Structure 1
Amino acid sequence: MLPLSDLAAAIKQRLRIEVAVFVLVLAIVALMTLLSPKVYRSTSSLLFDEKPIDPVQDAAGGDRDLSTLLSTQAAVIKSDLVAAKVVQNLNLVTPDILSQWRAQTGGAGDVNVWFGSRLLNGLEVVPDGASRIVRVSYRSNDGAVAAQLANAFVKAYLDQKLELQTDPAKTYSRWYADRTREVRANLETAQAKLTAFKRRTGIVDTDSTNAETGRLTDLQSAVTSAEVGSADLGSRSANAASRSPDVQNSAVVSGLRASIASKSAQLSEMSVSLGPNHPDRRAAQAELAALNSRLASAIAEQSASINVASSAAESKEAELRRNLEAQKARMLTLAGERAEYDVLRRDVDSARASYDQVTQRLDAMRLSAAAPTAGVRQLDVARASVLPSEPNITLRLLLGLVLATLLAIGVAILLELARPIVRSAATLQEVTGVPVITSVNFTNSSTLDHLKPDKKAA
């Protein structure tokens, strides 16, 4: 085995060969790098909101599992739906592509989906849950195409995500629009029924009911008073009207009784002094008879007036009772109408509440359908890279330098082993087995010039 000093000397002496090997290997590596197919990578990034904003409620949504969200959205980006949208947006379907599609599928399916699935081969989506970022990269042999497709996938995803979020709202919006027309028709029908009922019955508000109740109360009081008056007059009429205090105490009857008493006293005096046929006595008797006749007539008239008053009171009581019964019937009818009115009014209130609720939900659905609520935005735009990502030129050149250096040193060592040269006293002693007495250094001696031709000849 050669000593390290001889190896170092051999490497130094064969420097030209080593340089040649080094340059050759490095040139081969560089040539292979230049001839290798170039693959360019362009990357765009998406930033997801930690808590999405609800445009309808104007508030942040609840907490969510971010890693699950990013993984799900990464799968959406790599879906055939997004890829087909990229093909549509970029108009990538050419006549040649159509021919290939028909040849492979027989025209079955969607050419956009078919060609989009081929584009997915160069797509790479990497979610980063720690930073709420998803990186979308595309690999192509053209840097501009890689950047274009990376940005196209991001745009198609953003459009598709917004569409996926707003489509349900649009569907519900159409449903609520139909429902709004239905509840509006119900409200109009209920209002029409209530209006027709008011027009037919005359009920407008609760004041009419209160007025009818007050009238019933007044009639009840009037009937009670009439009953008392009629009972009093009836009792007086039922007894001897002529002996009634009202008749006996009347002014006419009292005056006549006083006149009769006076005339009777005068007649008694005349009967003492005058005979039965005396003209004065007969005149007094005639006057007394006339007064008694007038008293009887007055009593009869007063009794008749009491009977008339009693009959009038009974008639009034009967009329009041009829009015009271009619008012009770009116109140019963009014109560039924009022109950029907309340039912119709509740129907209107219920229909109006349903209409207001459906209208409010319709407005909310329309706002949700129109509001940009994707909850994600593009953070970085992919740009065409100057250097390819594959092959890695810098890495290959570094590896080429290392390989060229190792091969150059290896060639020098192999040549040294194939044709060893004594380069030191230690090597000479090891080879011959004879001790070395001394050594001469010809490095700075002119003798070396004389020895060189002999060395070449040897």
Structure 2
Amino acid sequence: MMSLRGLFMVLKARYGIVLATIATALAIAVVTSLLLPKTYTANTSLVLNYTGANQVTGMTMSGQLLPAYLATQVDIIKSPRVAMQVIESLKLADDPLFRRAYDEPKEPKEGITDWLSQRLLKKLQAISARDSSVVEIRFSAQNPQLAARVANGFASAYQQISMQLKAEPARIAADYFDSQILELRERVENARNALSAYQKEYGIINGESQFDLETGRLNDMATQLVIAQAQAAEATFRGRQARGNGSTSPDVQSNSLIQNLRASLAVAEAKFADISHKLERNHPQYQAASSEVESLRENLNAQIKIASQGVSGNARILEQREAELRSALAAQKARVLQLNRDRDKLKMLNAEIETAQRGYELATQRRTQTGFEARASQTDVVILSPAVPPALHSSPMLLLNIAAASVLGVVMGTGLALLLETCDRRFRSARDVADLMDAPLLGVVQWRQGA
């Protein structure tokens, strides 16, 4: 392994080769820099005013998405769609310079716009800073005016495409909501028509109030039935008493006519008893008193029978009323149950109307919002500094090429000197003799020129 001192001695011995290599590299760099066509780079800066909030809808987005947002915008700037917009706006397809380049036989015969798009994108750079919202667009061309014009064209085209990318999805969504609104409006109308038809078919005006009214009637009927049942039971018991022994029946005994007849009969019987002690059976007064007693007794029995029949008839009337109330109560129960089913059906129809109406209102609201977005002409992109024709070319850089050629010449000269030294190994010092011949060194002779 060669030491640093040995390397220095080799380079000192072969410095001519090293210098020749450096000179050759410098000559090539200078000639190449002078012969290559000059390229000018124009820069334009854009500010992406990304605040995380949509200016139309007000919806916010997480700030963590900012790096991805910037990277996406850089990709959009370098997309063929933006390049096509630049070609169209600047009319580059009609430019004689590009026409001549396109008509060269070596170039592929694809569409001129596609060819121009690929050529422009190769010379375009879009750079975004890590902690900044500024994006720099760089375009290189041999003509400084063309470089500035195309760089500004890319900035303007990106602004337009950015607005289009925001508006196009909104327009598509607006068209979709238009069709959905028609369907939802028809659904609301159908639900309302179904409700009206159901109310008309069953004669329902207000389901809740009608249900409450019929429920109140049902409760009244139930109360009346309970009272009628008690009255019928009592009347049946009294009728049974009257049919069994009318004279002991309270209803019969409380009859005023029967009470009067009983009093008259008691008076007649007392009178007859007094006459029977005084007169004979065949006496006219005796017979008249006896006939009066019998007549009153028969009349009393007849009235007792009539009163007993009246008590029994009243019991039958009350029983009939109870049966009628029970039948009416059953009918009212059926009506209330039917009204309850109708009310549930009405609730379901009303729920369908509310659901359809809610969907219609939501779709209308979203249609209005997407309409604003589709017509929005605002953009988050602002041109910070437009490109101007550069006064100095960006390549080739003569000084930079000379510096690079110098470094490359030193490296190549050193490598060439070491390669020649390896092929033609020579003793450069006393240490080389000991190392190469593996023998002890006896002495060193100092040589002087002219001695």
How high is the TM-score relative to the length of structure 2?
A: 0.72
Q: Answer whether contact 1:184 1:355 (CA < 8 A) is retained.
A: yes
- Seen in structure 2, the aligned counterparts of structure 1 residues 83 and 227 have a Cα distance that, compared at 3 Å, is same
* 1:206 aligned partner: 208
Once the 2 structures are TM-superposed, how far is the Cα of residue 324 of structure 1 from its aligned partner?
A: 0.8
Check if 1:226 corresponds to 2:231. Answer: no
1:59-208 matches, within 5 Å, as 60-64=60-64, 66-94=66-94, 100=102, 105-106=108-109, 110-203=111-204, 204-208=206-210
**Structure 1 residue matching 2:342: 3-state secondary structure:** helix
- Seen in structure 2, the aligned counterparts of structure 1 residues 316 and 119 have a Cα distance that, compared at 3 Å, is same
Check if 1:326 corresponds to 2:322. Answer: no
d(CA) in 2 for partners of 1:67, 1:37 = 38
d(CA) in 2 for partners of 1:88, 1:362 = 33
Q: Answer whether contact 1:39 1:388 (CA < 8 A) is retained.
A: no
* 1:308 aligned partner: 313
* 1:25 aligned partner: none
d(CA) in 1 for partners of 2:183, 2:256 = 85
Q: Answer whether contact 2:207 2:343 (CA < 8 A) is retained.
A: no
AA of the residue aligned to 1:280: Q
Check if 1:376 corresponds to 2:381. Answer: yes
* 1:236 aligned partner: 238
d(CA) in 2 for partners of 1:77, 1:265 = 139
Q: Deviations over 1:314-372 (max 9, x none)?
A: 22111111111111111222222222222222222222222223333333333333335
| Same amino acid, percent of matched pairs | 29
- Seen in structure 2, the aligned counterparts of structure 1 residues 55 and 72 have a Cα distance that, compared at 3 Å, is closer
Once the 2 structures are TM-superposed, how far is the Cα of residue 101 of structure 1 from its aligned partner?
A: 6.9
- Seen in structure 2, the aligned counterparts of structure 1 residues 296 and 117 have a Cα distance that, compared at 3 Å, is same
AA of the residue aligned to 1:252: L
Q: Answer whether contact 1:55 1:367 (CA < 8 A) is retained.
A: no
d(CA) in 1 for partners of 2:388, 2:99 = 29
Q: Deviations over 1:352-402 (max 9, x none)?
A: 2222233333333333333356432211122334x2335799989xx9xxx
Once the 2 structures are TM-superposed, how far is the Cα of residue 39 of structure 1 from its aligned partner?
A: 4.3
Q: Answer whether contact 1:54 1:373 (CA < 8 A) is retained.
A: no
Q: Answer whether contact 1:162 1:374 (CA < 8 A) is retained.
A: yes
- Seen in structure 2, the aligned counterparts of structure 1 residues 73 and 52 have a Cα distance that, compared at 3 Å, is same
**Structure 1 residue matching 2:225: 3-state secondary structure:** helix
Q: Which moved more, 1:55-64 or 1:210-219?
A: 55-64
d(CA) in 2 for partners of 1:254, 1:340 = 65
Q: Answer whether contact 1:166 1:370 (CA < 8 A) is retained.
A: yes
* 1:415 aligned partner: none
Q: Answer whether contact 2:252 2:308 (CA < 8 A) is retained.
A: yes
1:11-90 matches, within 5 Å, as 39-58=39-58, 60-64=60-64, 66-90=66-90
Q: Which moved more, 1:66-75 or 1:253-262?
A: 66-75
- Seen in structure 2, the aligned counterparts of structure 1 residues 59 and 187 have a Cα distance that, compared at 3 Å, is closer
Once the 2 structures are TM-superposed, how far is the Cα of residue 263 of structure 1 from its aligned partner?
A: 1.1
* 1:293 aligned partner: 298
- Seen in structure 2, the aligned counterparts of structure 1 residues 167 and 318 have a Cα distance that, compared at 3 Å, is same
AA of the residue aligned to 2:332: Q
Once the 2 structures are TM-superposed, how far is the Cα of residue 219 of structure 1 from its aligned partner?
A: 0.8
Q: Deviations over 1:394-425 (max 9, x none)?
A: 989xx9xxxxxxxxxxxxxxxxxxxxxxxxxx
Identify which of 322, 335, 339 aligns with 2:340.
335
**Structure 1 residue matching 2:92: 3-state secondary structure:** coil
Listed as ranges, the gaps of 5+ residues in structure 2 are 1-29, 404-451
d(CA) in 1 for partners of 2:104, 2:351 = 66
Listed as ranges, the gaps of 5+ residues in structure 1 are 1-28, 400-458
**Structure 2 residue matching 1:54: 3-state secondary structure:** coil
Check if 1:389 corresponds to 2:403. Answer: no
RMSD: 3.1
**Structure 2 residue matching 1:240: 3-state secondary structure:** helix
Once the 2 structures are TM-superposed, how far is the Cα of residue 151 of structure 1 from its aligned partner?
A: 1.1
**Structure 1 residue matching 2:47: 3-state secondary structure:** strand
1:302-451 matches, within 5 Å, as 302-372=307-377, 374-385=379-390, 387-390=391-394
Q: Answer whether contact 2:242 2:312 (CA < 8 A) is retained.
A: no
d(CA) in 1 for partners of 2:263, 2:94 = 143
Q: Answer whether contact 1:38 1:388 (CA < 8 A) is retained.
A: no
Once the 2 structures are TM-superposed, how far is the Cα of residue 87 of structure 1 from its aligned partner?
A: 0.7
Once the 2 structures are TM-superposed, how far is the Cα of residue 162 of structure 1 from its aligned partner?
A: 2.3
AA of the residue aligned to 1:147: A
1:259-270 matches, within 5 Å, as 259-270=264-275
Once the 2 structures are TM-superposed, how far is the Cα of residue 234 of structure 1 from its aligned partner?
A: 1.4
Aligned residue-pair number: 363
Once the 2 structures are TM-superposed, how far is the Cα of residue 277 of structure 1 from its aligned partner?
A: 1.8
- Seen in structure 2, the aligned counterparts of structure 1 residues 342 and 71 have a Cα distance that, compared at 3 Å, is closer
d(CA) in 1 for partners of 2:231, 2:122 = 113
d(CA) in 1 for partners of 2:234, 2:69 = 98
Q: Answer whether contact 1:226 1:316 (CA < 8 A) is retained.
A: yes
Q: Deviations over 1:150-178 (max 9, x none)?
A: 11100111111222233223222322322
Q: Answer whether contact 1:81 1:113 (CA < 8 A) is retained.
A: no
* 2:439 aligned partner: none
